[in-house]
């Protein structure tokens, strides 16, 4: 599993992660907020989304980020939400840089 070498909040309030394999990833704040998989945002049994894209405030941004064990990150969002944990595996999949968008996933 990839580990982040450096994690920063980017100017737009999203995240910028440099992975230990040298990959530089960027995450837009609204998309990352929507990807939250905590029990508030997604039903853990059915997998049904409870969080709707149009319920995310405009201008949402990450206020803080901290490591959770050796497997993920917890993000404090400007809408007061902070219960979601983003695992490193998931963050790798969520990367939207041109290289990841064109590379086969798996």
Q: Which is nearer to Zn ion, 29 or 84 (CB)?
A: 84
Largest CA distance in the chain: 36
Instruction: Report the residue from 15, 17, 36, 62 that binds Zn ion according to the rule CB under 5 A.
Output: 36
Instruction: Report the residue from 25, 56, 73, 75 that binds Zn ion according to the rule CB under 5 A.
Output: 25
Of the candidates 35, 42, 12, the residue with the CA atom closest to the CA atom of residue 91: 35
**Residue 97 binds Zn ion (CB under 5 A):** yes
Q: Where do contacts with Zn ion occur on this chain (CB under 5 A)?
A: 25, 36, 38, 40-41, 84, 95, 97, 100
């Amino acid at each position: 599993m990839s580990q982040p070498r450096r994690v920063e909040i980017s100017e737009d309030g999203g995240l910028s992660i440099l992975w230990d394999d040298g990959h530089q990833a960027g995450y837009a704040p609204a998309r990352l907020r929507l990807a939250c998989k905590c029990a508030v945002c997604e039903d853990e049994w059915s997998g049904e989304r409870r969080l709707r894209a149009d319920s995310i405030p405009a201008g949402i941004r990450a206020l803080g980020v901290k490591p959770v064990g050796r497997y993920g990150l917890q993000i404090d969002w400007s809408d007061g939400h902070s219960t979601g944990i983003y695992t490193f595996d998931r963050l790798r999949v969520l990367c939207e840089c041109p290289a990841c968008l064109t590379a086969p996933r798996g």
